[in-house]
C-alpha cells in the first residue's frame, strides 16, 4: 500500500517536538504579531481531529487512504501542540473552549474526490503561508517551527495529490466536483481555506484568534504584491497536472468545468 511507503518516509525523516529548543526563546525577539500568528496556527491545526473523523467515515472502503489519514493526523496534531508549546513558553495561553468547538467532523464533500481536492488546496495554502512567514519572523524557534511545518504540509499535499489522481483514474465521473472545488477556492481575491469555509461562525467571537486572523496578517503585513495570485496559480497548476487540463486561469477552470459536466 502507498501509505506504507509514506509511513516509512515519515518515520525516517520526521522532526520531533522535542527538537525545538523552547528554553532558548528570547522574549525580546517576539513581536505581538508572532503571538497572533501562533494562536491562529494553533486554531487552524486543531481541526485535524474533525478532518480525520470525516476521512475515516467517508473512505470507509479505502484502507490505504484511511491509513494515510491516521499518519497525516499525527503530524497535524504535532503542529497543533508545537505552536501551543511555543506560546506556553512565553506564558501565552490558548482558549480551549474555542479549540473544543472545532471538534465536530466535517460534512463529506460532494464526492470523495472533492474532499481530497479540498485538502490539496488546504495543504498548498498553508505550506505557502508558513514558508513565507518563516522568512519574516526573527525569533529562531518560531522560525524553525514554521519551516518544519511548511515542509510537512508540502509532503501532505504530495500525498493528497497522489490519492486524488488515483481516485479520478477509477472514478472519472467525479472530475466535475474536483474542478468545482478548485474554482470555489481560487476564484476570489483572498485566501479561502476549508477551515474558514466549513467552520465559519463556530469559534468566532471573544478575543481569540481564528485561522483567518493569520491569513489577514499574512496578506496585510507579509505578502508581497501579487503573492496571492502566485499562490492561486500554484494551486491551478497542481490541478492541471492531476487532470491534464488547461486550468491556467479562472476562465479556463470554468470552461473545463462546463465541458466536464457536458
| Statement: residue 204 has pLDDT above 70 | no
Q: Look up the pTM and report it.
A: 0.93
The Cα 229–Cα 104 span in angstroms is 32
> Rounded to a whole number, what is the distance in angstroms from the first to the last CA of the chain?
35
Q: What percent of the chain lies above the pLDDT cut of 70? A: 95
Position 199 scores a pLDDT of 57
- Do 72 and 156 form a contact (C-beta atoms < 8 A)? yes
From 70, 47, 66, 158, select the one nearest 112 (Cα to Cα): 66
Structure-block grid coordinates of residue 46: 486543531
pLDDT digits (tens, 9 = 90+) for 62-116: 999 999 999 999 999 999 999 999 999 999 999 899 899 888 888 888 999 999 9
Is residue 121 within 8 Å of residue 186, measured between CB atoms? yes
Yes or no: say if 55 and 69 are a contact pair by the CB < 8 Å rule: yes
**pLDDT score of 197:** 66
Cβ atoms of 256 and 175 within 8 Å: the answer is no
Q: Is 12 helix (H, G, I), strand (E, B) or coil?
A: helix
Average pLDDT on 10-31 reads 94
pLDDT band at 206 (very low <50, low <70, confident <90, very high): low
Give me the pLDDT at residue 190, please: 83
Q: Which of 223, 79, 235, 51 is nearest to 157 (CA)?
A: 235
3-state secondary structure of 244: coil
CA distance 229 to 100: 34
Q: Nearest CA to 214 among 45, 52, 48?
A: 45
| Residue range 8-26: mean pLDDT, rounded | 93
Amino acid at each position: 500500500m502507498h501509505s506504507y511507503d509514506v509511513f516509512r518516509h515519515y518515520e525516517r525523516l520526521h522532526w520531533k517536538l522535542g527538537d525545538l529548543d523552547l528554553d532558548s526563546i528570547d522574549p525580546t525577539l517576539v513581536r505581538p504579531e508572532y503571538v497572533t500568528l501562533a494562536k491562529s496556527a494553533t486554531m487552524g491545526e486543531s481541526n485535524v481531529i474533525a478532518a480525520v473523523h470525516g476521512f475515516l467515515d467517508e473512505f470507509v472502503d479505502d484502507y490505504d487512504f484511511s491509513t494515510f489519514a491516521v499518519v497525516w493526523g499525527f503530524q497535524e496534531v504535532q503542529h497543533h501542540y508545537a505552536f501551543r508549546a511555543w506560546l506556553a513558553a512565553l506564558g501565552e495561553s490558548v482558549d480551549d473552549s474555542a479549540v473544543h468547538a472545532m471538534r465536530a467532523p466535517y460534512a463529506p464533500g460532494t464526492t470523495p474526490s472533492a474532499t481530497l481536492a479540498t485538502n490539496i488546496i488546504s495543504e498548498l495554502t498553508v505550506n505557502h503561508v508558513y514558508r513565507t512567514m518563516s522568512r519574516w519572523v526573527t525569533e529562531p524557534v518560531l522560525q524553525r517551527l514554521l519551516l518544519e511545518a511548511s515542509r510537512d504540509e508540502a509532503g501532505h499535499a504530495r500525498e493528497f495529490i497522489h490519492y486524488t489522481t488515483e481516485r479520478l483514474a477509477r472514478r472519472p465521473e467525479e472530475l466535475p466536483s474536483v474542478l468545482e472545488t478548485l474554482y470555489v477556492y481560487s476564484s476570489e481575491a483572498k485566501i479561502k481555506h476549508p477551515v474558514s469555509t466549513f467552520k465559519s461562525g463556530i469559534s468566532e467571537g471573544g478575543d481569540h484568534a481564528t485561522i483567518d486572523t493569520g491569513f489577514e496578517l499574512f496578506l496585510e503585513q507579509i505578502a508581497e504584491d501579487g503573492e496571492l495570485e502566485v499562490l492561486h496559480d500554484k494551486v491551478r497548476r497542481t490541478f492541471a497536472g492531476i487532470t491534464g487540463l488547461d486550468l491556467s486561469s479562472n476562465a479556463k477552470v470554468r470552461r473545463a468545468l462546463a465541458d466536464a459536466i457536458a
